[in-house]
Structure 1
Amino acid sequence: MKGVEEVVMTYFQYVMLSHKWEGEEPLLQDIQGKDIYKLDPISGIKKLQSFCKTAHDLGYRWAWSDTCCIDKNTDVELQASIKSMFAWYHHSALTVVYLSDVPPLSKSGALAKSAWSTRGWTLQEFLAPKVILFYQTNWTLYLDDRTPNHKNSVAIMQELEVATGIDRRAVVAFHPEMRDAREKLQWASTRTTTLQEDIAYSLFGIFGVRLHVDYTEKKQNALGRLLQEIIAQSGDITALDWVGKSSEFNSCLPADITSYEDPPCKLPSLSEEEIQSSVSSLRGAVAPQPASQLYQTLDYLSAARFAHHRLHLPCIVFPITEARRKLGHDQKTYTYELKSDGLRNLQITTEDKFSQFSSARPPPAWQTIVLVRPWDRHLLGLHDTADDRQSVDNWSLPESPSCDSSAAQTESIYSDSHSQALRLLVRLGLPFSGFLLARQRDGEFKRIASDRNIIAQVKDVASITYLMDIRTLEVL
């Protein structure tokens, strides 16, 4: 038997309101059992009356506004509502977006300047619905655009793309998932919420996660729980691509969503022709066995996972052998030129002081700093589907080849597997984005936050098979 909410979403056409909260918004107890049109039209009541009238004039009998349709005094209802919000907007017949600060007869560009575009909750409120209409402060259609669905309005969608940084094709056909997590985090990075925890809670629906809501926790904990869930469920480590301050939740996660404001780190790539050329040059320089062993070791690595706020991170490790501090203008930060065997020299700026390299006395044996490259299975060149995956187990030779054709087939398989391993070496030889970890006394690590992306590269591709220190590190 269907629940009440499922029945409503299935059989009743209802209109949702997306708006910026302002002043005294009506609560459930303010309107329950009352005729809203007979209430004193002040502040939020007037907005609610206009919204209901607009929905009625469009031919709908049911309207929903978040300020007065959720009993916020009941924790169970509040929990369920936050977790269901995306679905409610998605199944609405229409979502009305009210731009209270956009005056009548506004020209194109006013939408981008509206405070509505800066709020955290409104992100899912225009991504989730299939049909939306934008209204100005006097409840007339924005730009007088009478397109039945403003998601089909080229002019408005282009303006929304400029305002939010979200490709209009994603707006029109959005569905919740954890893929491309870093891009979605960037969408939210410049948005604000009244309650600090809401910047994480407002993203639950966008990523398709259902987590407990606790308004007594800190912002860092709320965001940390969300990012932990994304990495744990999807194995997507792009959420580790950020610059700024580390979170108290886990040092590999950022303290604030604003750390995702810059676009994901862009690294050079090679065309298929360039890869083939590089593979050809490596054939005589790299022995098949160590290359295949490296491929197999990386292929067997498990995905990154969290346990008790600790990140278990499969990665390639490069110990830092030297860190020369350079003079800088900022007295609060330190700039270091780093060296590691096999890597080209690189430079970082951080608020952390490397005590390991600041004294003439040798540091304790446990105290080391490493640069890590988080492992990404895409470097193997495999498809996502299990049917398409090629295992290194298949590289072994048949036990007893019985004819020349079998020998030729074996040689072909061996050659193909070696080529695949060499292609991996070529990818590993390209510049990569990494970060620094400092080993703690008990053997765990903590991330050393940097003010910019750390881009590293190996000196010699042919030597990669001997340089790779592949481990799963536990990060606090």
Structure 2
Amino acid sequence: MILAGLIVSSIADHQTPHSAPHTCPSSFRALTPLQHKSRNSKSFKEYDTSQDRISASMWLINVESMKLEEFTPPDLPTYAILSHTWEDNEVTFREFKKRKYDKNKAGFVKIKKTCQLAAAKSIKYVWVDTCCIDKSSSAELSEAINSMFDWYRLSAVCFTYLSDLPASSILVCRWFTRGWTLQELLAPDILEFYDREWNFRGRKTESVVMQQLSTMTGIHNMEVFRNRDAIRKTVVGERMSWVSKRQTKRLEDIAYCLLGIFQVNMPMLYGEGMRAFQRLQEEIIKSSTDMSLFCWRGTENEFLCRGILAHSPAEFATYHETSQNLRDNYDQTYSSYLKGSLPEFSVTNKGVRIEADVSLGSYK
């Protein structure tokens, strides 16, 4: 990129994106078992109880009766929440509501163990995504996805079950490669890790755990593990890089799982493919002047001319390398856009209209 030193008003046409491959890290360092004096603490008064940002009803499991009960904000009770990776033999909403499930089913064992952990902390309700969302209702599913980040934010504690984490110290944990688990990691104030035998392995705010999480997730600013407000203070491009090596089963979900991270809402349109990611970027543009959204890198074998919006989060994998180059060479311009002092930009019927400094240089 060569700094041209002039302000231009341009319209950059954005094309319908195609899916791009996601590369998962080859290995992760497993969490080291830690001793926590407060692991059985029953006080959760410090977590954010503000329910004014959500309106969707929640189905919660009563840990005593093991039955679903429906609640509507702002009257949500204190509840714990489970974060995990989906596997075979999960219990669905209909199965749990009608109590038609095998109690030896792996999915039910997770639900039962979550209830036991919550009860030990005097928490009367839990939320588990497999059986607390009626996925046969597209309206309820859309509401749930748009509310998901806040549901994890409002939880008293999040139990993270790493089903492939044994006692050994080195392992590829699938939980760290999934798109949906990013917000499940960042949204709760209190998050506890458990291995496949449900042994307690530490909290995300422990210094040793945070170091390991930073290595496994590529999140350089460890403040986001301690303080949720640090997420919105992080530039858009960096937040995109957090999910650049994660995967989702459905193409659209790589966009939908980021709604809470960027505090935007949009309807779910399964079947649209990676156009969902384009819509996500357009929603971000509506509420932000952060130009790091355009700090991505495509593949070398692409045509020279393409749209200004990224095709997938994978194109933000080199964000730190690119942004460092900007810091080194164009410190004043880079500082200006980080502070939001550059002119606004917007989506038009012809593309993205931007008024900004133009820079030109080598593509590596």
Both proteins in one fold, TM over 0.5: yes
Q: Paired residue for 1:173, among 201, 216, 227?
A: 227
Higher alpha-carbon deviation: 251-260 or 261-270: 261-270
The residue correspondences of 1:454-465 to structure 2 (distance < 5 A) are none
Q: Report what 2:161 is aligned to.
A: 98
Corresponding position: 1:5 with 2:72: yes
**Contact residue 296 and residue 319 of structure 2 kept, 8 A:** no
Provide the residue aligned with 1:198 in structure 2: 253
Equivalent residue number for residue 152 of structure 1 = 205
Corresponding position of 2:134: 71
SS in 2 for 1:6: coil
Partner of 2:244: 189
Alignment of 1:18-417 (within 5 A): 18-34=83-99, 39-103=102-166, 105-107=167-169, 109-110=170-171, 113-142=172-201, 145=202, 150-166=203-219, 167-175=221-229, 177=232, 179-219=234-274, 221-244=275-298, 251-264=307-320, 265=322, 266-267=324-325, 302-308=343-349, 310-316=351-357, 373=358
Give distance in 1, aligned partners of 2:266 and 2:355: 26
State the AA in 1 paired with 2:312: D
Partner of 1:134: helix, strand, or coil?
A: strand
Indicate how the Cα distance of structure 1 residues 268 and 214 shifts in structure 2: closer, same or farther if over 3 A, else same: closer
Q: Higher relative contact order by CA 8 Å / sep ≥ 6: 1 or 2?
A: 2
Question: CA offset at residue 228 of structure 1?
Answer: 1.4
- The 3 A distance-change label for structure 1 pair 309 and 154 is farther
- The Cα of 1:268 is off from its aligned counterpart by 6.2
- Per the TM alignment, residue 301 of structure 1 is displaced from its structure 2 partner at its CA by 7.8
The change in CA–CA distance for 1:300 and 1:155 in structure 2 (over 3 A counts) is: closer
- May I ask how many residue pairs the two structures share in their alignment? 280
Shift of 1:226: 0.9
Structure 2 SS opposite 1:314: strand
Hey, what's the Cα distance between the residues in 1 that align with 2:215 and 2:85?
19
- Counterpart CA distance in 2 for 1:262 and 1:80 is 33
Structure 2 counterpart SS, 1:267: helix
Distance of 2:123 and 2:250 partners within structure 1 = 32
Confirm or deny: 8 A CA contact 1:197 1:215 kept in the other structure.
yes
Q: Which has the higher helix share?
A: 1
Q: Distance in 2 between matches of 1:81 and 1:269?
A: 39
Q: Is the 8 A contact 2:205 2:225 kept in 1?
A: no
Give yes or no for contact 2:343–2:356 (8 Å, CA) kept in 1: no
- Structure-2 change in CA distance of 1:309 and 1:41 (3 Å): farther
User: For residues 162 and 131 of structure 1, do their structure 2 counterparts lie closer, same or farther at Cα, with a shift above 3 Å needed?
Assistant: same
Task: Give the aligned residue type for 1:207.
Answer: F
Aligned residues with identical type, % of pairs: 31
Unpaired runs of at least 5, structure 1 = 276-298, 317-372, 374-431, 436-449, 454-476
State the partner residue of 2:67: none
Residues 200-250 of structure 1, C-alpha deviations (whole Å, 9 max, x = no match): 00000000001111112121x111111112123211121111111589xx7
Distance 1:137 1:304 in 2: 48
Equivalent in the alignment of 1:438: none
Partners of 2:208 and 2:175 in 1: CA distance: 18
Secondary structure of 1:7's partner? coil
TM-score for the superposition, normalised by structure 2: 0.70
CA RMSD, aligned part only? 2.9
Post-superposition Cα deviations, 1:24-58, rounded to whole Å, max 9, x if no partner, equal 2111011104397xx43123122222222222223
Distance 1:45 1:28 in 2: 12
CA contact (8 A) 1:134 1:141 kept: yes
Contact 2:81–2:159 (CA under 8 A) maintained in structure 1 = yes
